Chain A
Amino acid sequence: MVYAAWAMLALPLLGFLVLLAFGRRLGDPVAGWVGTTAVAGSFVATLVTFGGMLSRHAGGAREISHSIFTWIAVGGLDIKAAILTDPLSMTMALFVTGVSALIHLYSIGYMKGDRDYSKFFVYLNLFVFSMLLLVLGGNLAITFVGWEGVGLCSYWLISFWFERPTAASAGKKAFVYNRIGDFGFLIAMFLIFEKTGTLSYSGIFAHLHALSGAAGTAAVLLLFLAATGKSAQIPLFPWLADAMEGPTPVSALIHAATMVTAGVYLMCRMHPLLGMSHSAQLVVATIGVVTAFVGGTIACTQRDIKKVLAYSTISQLGYMFLAVGVGAYVAAIFLMVAHAFYKGLLFLGAGSVIHGMHDEQDLRKMGGLARFMPITAGTFAVAWFAIAGVPPLAGFFAKGAVLDNTFAAYPVLWVIGIVTALLTAYYLSRLFVLAFTGDPRFIEAVNTRWLSSGSTHSAGADPDSGGRITSGSAGAAGAFSTTGRASEEAGATGGSGMATPGGGSVEEPHGQGSSHGYPSPHESPKVMVIPLLVLAVLALAGGVLELPWHGPDTIRLLSWLHPVFGHYLYTAHLSIASQWILAVVDSLVALSGIYIAWRLWTKAWDRPKLEPSFLFRSWFINEAYDLLIGRPGDRLASFTTAVVEVRVVDGAVNGAAALTRNAGEALRKLQTGFVRQYALGITLGMVALLAWMLVRA
């Protein structure tokens, strides 16, 4: 079983290496199939491990850690390359490999004809390997390796079409924001090591008492800082929207289903530590629910189909952190898995739309797509109802579990949560209505260019917005503006700016040629449709993982994860009646969100009043970063280089030199051009000395 566990890791790594060496030769589509096979094999290995684990007794025997070599060992530090398989990591591994395999399959179709087709799968396989390393790591350091690995792959894949300046900037932005989080991760590791003398999970949990008090709180908050980076929470969320520059399968896999949930996983993994500090837990819960709300509000106003989904992801991740904060870890994992199904499906559906529309991402230029791509529309509808929380789909149970627990713990947070649920139902319905129902708008969009005048935001639409970014930040220290400038520009130009269809300026993702004339939407090929159908089934029925009326002995998430979370289980001690009431409230909220959106958006497709600039531009977070960090940083860097380095540091040296010049004749000569002779002098002197010494020796 241990070998199967290592095979999970080995197969994607092997796929990565094979594709790295021979990918270009294998080409399209063989390279894609190789990559897909490697990940599918990893999924099978995960199933084998899972089966092996099921056959073991639940009490403790399901936790196996295994190391193959010592990675870093100096003094008291001893980090092993170790994996830990337990119900938690297996749950993660199962859905990570499963969803990854589906999205690999989808990518075979989506990336068809791309110039860097094989490279895409190189990155994707490396990503799966890193993600599994993150999940299966037996200590914080190995998890950190995976953590950084997925960040790197994310960087590469966001800037996959690197000739597009917006894509390049977005990748860098993601990396830098994540680095801020990594800083927290590093310091947390140091603190934990200092207190407990180890970084392995079992070791840390055995010495938790050393982390009581302020140290424990600090460690949790530092790890949470890391989580806010990776999982796009306040204050580090702005990168995720920009990350939509990457190919859509990447958005589905990395920026919706798997990588962004790593922060939640980390928190769950470290849950005994969280249990040490209630104040830290409250911080996590609050940040989570506020992020959920903020993300939801922004999602209501976006016009780019992928950006709606991106902010929706931020919002849903907020729910997961809310669950973590109130101690409902199982609910967090449940929502994570369910979210992977339906958000993966939403993104793949969006990808299918974009594919069919020839790279059109603006909702205002869609409409009526249901009749052109029925399967996409149907599966998309399933995901829509699932995320909205319509019973009995997966989202209803998962989100319900989170909200019920919140209600039991902090009713105030529950209120925010339920409002966000309304927003969720609203924005997803808006998206569906705008994209799939009504009259097709793409034909007119091309023929008459009324779009640019038809709305407040797209007034400054600039098809080549990317060019401005480079020129705009070409100042001395443009590096600092990574924090904000890219998306400020993208925001300023409106949703249509970055998604400019066709045209020579934008790399054609799937090599389908530029969209001359108006797009003729069509259903996607089979390799893309099959993953949609599979995910639709999962999103539809995912709720069975954890149904409230299951008995304690049935196979359900709660009992499966019991060995990990032990007594940190549901905090909900609600009566059956109140649970029913809460369930009804949830359903009503979901349905009213859908109703409102339907009424509003079927009548008119352009409602600027409902898309206030404040929300459309993400509460001006990018502007705030730019103002508070970016520009001062630029100025500081320019000042340092131009003044401190030249006048102070170098100036002191030159001043001292000038001083010595006046001080002595010998030094004066030295300073004014006799260096060459002097060097020669050293050489000759040295030779003479050596010769003399040799003789004497």
Chain B
Amino acid sequence: MSPFPFLTTLVLLPAGAALVVAILPSGLGERRRRIAAQVIGLAGALGTLALAATIAVRFNIKDAGYQMVSDHAWARSLGVSWYLGVDGISLFLVLLAALLFPVALVAARTRTNLHSYMAWMLLLEAVCIGSFISLDLILFFVFFEASLVPIYFIITGWGFEKRSAAAMKFFVYTFLGSAFLFVGIVVLALIHQHDTGVLTFSLPVLAHTHMPYYVQVLLFLSFTAAFAVKSPVFPFHTWSPDAYAEAPTGGSVVLAAVMAKMGTYGIIRFDLNLFPKASIDLAPLLLTLGVAGIIYGAIVACTQKDLKRMVAYSSLSHIGFIVLGVFALTSEGMAGGVIQMVNHGLIIAVLFLAIGWIYERTATRDVSRLKGLQKPAPLLAALFTVGMLAAIGLPGLNGFVGEFLILLGTFITHRWWAVVAATGVILAALYMLWAYQQAFHGKPEEEAVKRTKDISWPELLVMAPLVGLVIFLGVYPKPVLDRITPSVERLVQRADRAAGVHQPLLSRKVALPASRLHVQHAAHTPGAAVSGYTGYVGASRLRSFWTASPVGSAGVSSAGVGTGALTSAATGNVQYGWTPYGSSRIRHALPYASLLGIASPFYPGGSADRHLGLVTPLTSHCCVAIAGSDTVR
């Protein structure tokens, strides 16, 4: 635990700034209150950014668990605690939020009621960040819900023509989704209390709740309902085009770039941690929704005349990719999903800001009226182009890194989903370039377009960090991926463990001549166990299965590993011996194994005996196969 409560401050700083801005006395006079709101608001947002950056710097790259945890019992009788922590999955979402809020505050010039706009935005920042770092389910729910309030007022207060209807639809829709979440949380905690006698909402503790399989599935569905609406996942998206289009520029930026991520983040953080088995079994459902979203969003985006709505539907497509990556349940896919959340946030911020500026200049977002915009405003066109190309997934820009990892990770476990999803790459080019051609190419006809001023220096300055990151993350995503990967791999392992015998790949992969690669890598690299394994197909679902191989190749039947693999086989969990941490990890895993061994009667497929019956032959088959291929060389 860090001595300084970084995370708590991270939430309280923008919240405090919001409070200060909100209670600025009206006696100051309109002008001075405006300036004060601007100064305090920006200072609060930038301070939060600085703090988030500090956290990123202090973040321990090797630690897969929660860092800088602050855990204070709060409402003890209710089991609620102020429990915050950050890991590789949430770190960059926090950074994203901390970066985009000041950008949204500066970029979107709001003319009326500036101080209340500032206050709502800062409050929204506090709850967004809070939701990304909450490790207590109730605390998360509070933040998750509370985010609706400021955005509702931002849309109704500063939005476009149909703002009330859009805001209402958004509010009611997401709120109904959240109801499922709330019920789910309470039921889960009660089950846990029933089992252990302890009432708690702590995520790490609840993750070990034993429950009948059907309950797990039901709870998974109720959690996912809320997250799917928030993300939004197809077909729960109809609030989003309206809300994105009607919100003011700053509002749409944070709504699409940050708030929507609460949904996908919730899926990763809560669904996979709490219901790993249900997540795996229902993955095909979610994968299908993801793919459907990719294609559907793209098709509908093709027909949009309003640039902002076009981007909104493209966003549906991108969220589909994120969902796909997560439920591929491979390290590559999930890491891709996590980085794609950040990428999508940056990309959509660039696009919405550009569109916002276009609207400010021409008073239209209709592509047919914008015709020829590139001529009067080449720089604006260039910025839009960068966002567009990143959204299309052009290598060298950030979108590609995420999409590539997602599709690759999905291909390994769910080949045909990946193949269908990859057609989204073609469609994305189609609707984006079509919209670009209509809006920017050709000869300008409308007077407003002809007179359009290119972007100013301050605007360029605001956009610069976003565009810079879009390029940087495309060229050198390593710093981000290095921090995401450990946490993601831990989560994937957890899902793997829960999967138990449900390992569809096991038999298919046995025949592969994999171990040759292991041997080569192992020979070249010090710390052979680590890269030794990873040389093979990166799906870490297979990883544990290959346990015996890399280590074994170093010293053919290392006793510890052998025992580990055998024991885990005996307990009905092939998945234990995960190699990257070496064989010691396997021994660590043993208590876990017995734990799940006890739990196994709850799983369908019945008793531990049946697990044994299924697993043992498979495992031994694998071990023999590996041993065989190693000895041959």
Contacts and interface: CB of A to CB of B under 8 A. Distances in A.
A194 B300 CA distance: 33
Interface stretch (B55-63, B110-118, B424-432, B561-569): B424-432
Interface stretch (B24-32, B460-468, B513-521, B596-604): B513-521
Interface in B267-296: 296
A225 to B, nearest CB: 12
A373 B296 CA distance: 56
A169 B437 contact: yes
B581 interface: no
A163 B441 contact: yes
A683 B534 contact: no
A477 B173 CA distance: 29
Interface string A315-341: 000000000000000000000000000
B20 to A, nearest CB: 16
B516 A479 contact: no
A204 to B, nearest CB: 11
Is chain A's binding surface mostly helix, strand, loop or mixed? helix
Interface stretch (A104-112, A178-186, A261-269, A572-580): A178-186
Contacts of A671: 172
Nearest to B433: A172
Interface in B133-165: 142, 145-146, 148-149, 152-153, 156
A641 B396 CA distance: 32
Contact of B302 (A195, A479, A652): A479
A207 B419 CA distance: 23
A675 interface: yes
Given A144-B395, A649-B238, A74 B537 contact: no
A152 B394 contact: yes
B332 A149 contact: no
Interface in B530-565: 533-540, 543
A528 B356 CA distance: 45
B411 interface: yes
Contacts of A679: 148-149, 152-153, 171
Interface in B345-400: 368, 372, 374-375, 389, 394-396
Nearest to A169: B437
A135 B350 CA distance: 32
A159 B440 CA distance: 12
A650 interface: yes
A598 interface: no
A175 interface: yes
Given A77-B408, A179-B425, A637-B303, A70 B478 contact: yes
Nearest to A656: B176
A551 interface: no
Contact of B516 (A165, A207, A682): A207
| Max chain A C-beta neighbours (<10 A), residue from B302, B330, B440 | B302
Contact of B477 (A72, A187, A692): A72
Contacts of A193: 408, 411, 537
A231 to B, nearest CB: 18
A379 B139 CA distance: 78
A482 interface: yes
The number of chain A residues touching the other chain, given as a range, is 35 or more
Contacts of B488: 74
A144 B485 CA distance: 24
A470 B442 contact: yes
B517 A168 contact: no
Contacts of A144: 395
Given A73-B478, A149-B395, A194-B537, A186 B422 contact: yes
Contacts of A77: 332, 405, 408, 538
Interface stretch (B74-82, B183-191, B614-622): B74-82
B572 interface: no
A697 B82 contact: yes
B125 to A, nearest CB: 16
A75 B331 contact: yes
Contacts of B17: none
A276 to B, nearest CB: 14
Interface in A469-508: 470, 474, 476-480, 482
Contacts of B394: 148, 152
B37 interface: no
A597 to B, nearest CB: 39
B512 interface: yes
Interface in B334-353: 335-336
Contacts of A152: 389, 394
Interface in A154-197: 155, 159, 162-163, 165, 168-169, 172, 175-176, 179-180, 182-183, 186-187, 189-191, 193-197
24 contacts: A72-B404, A72-B477, A74-B336, A75-B331, A75-B485, A75-B489, A141-B395, A144-B395, A148-B395, A152-B389, A176-B433, A179-B430, A180-B426, A182-B426, A197-B536, A197-B538, A207-B516, A207-B517, A479-B302, A637-B302, A640-B300, A675-B171, A692-B75, A693-B74
Interface of A: 69-78, 141, 144-145, 148-149, 152, 155, 159, 162-163, 165, 168-169, 172, 175-176, 179-180, 182-183, 186-187, 189-191, 193-198, 207, 209-210, 470, 474, 476-480, 482, 636-638, 640-641, 644-645, 649-650, 652-653, 657, 660, 670-671, 675-676, 679, 682-683, 686, 689, 692-693, 696-697
Interface of B: 72-76, 80, 82, 142, 145-146, 148-149, 152-153, 156, 167-168, 171-173, 175-176, 235, 237-238, 296, 299-300, 302-304, 330-332, 335-336, 368, 372, 374-375, 389, 394-396, 401, 404-405, 407-409, 411-412, 418-419, 422-423, 425-426, 429-431, 433-435, 437-438, 440-443, 475-478, 481-482, 484-485, 488-489, 512-514, 516-517, 533-540, 543
Q: Which 5 A-B pairs have CB atoms at the shortest separation, nearest pair first?
A: A76-B538, A75-B538, A75-B331, A479-B434, A168-B441
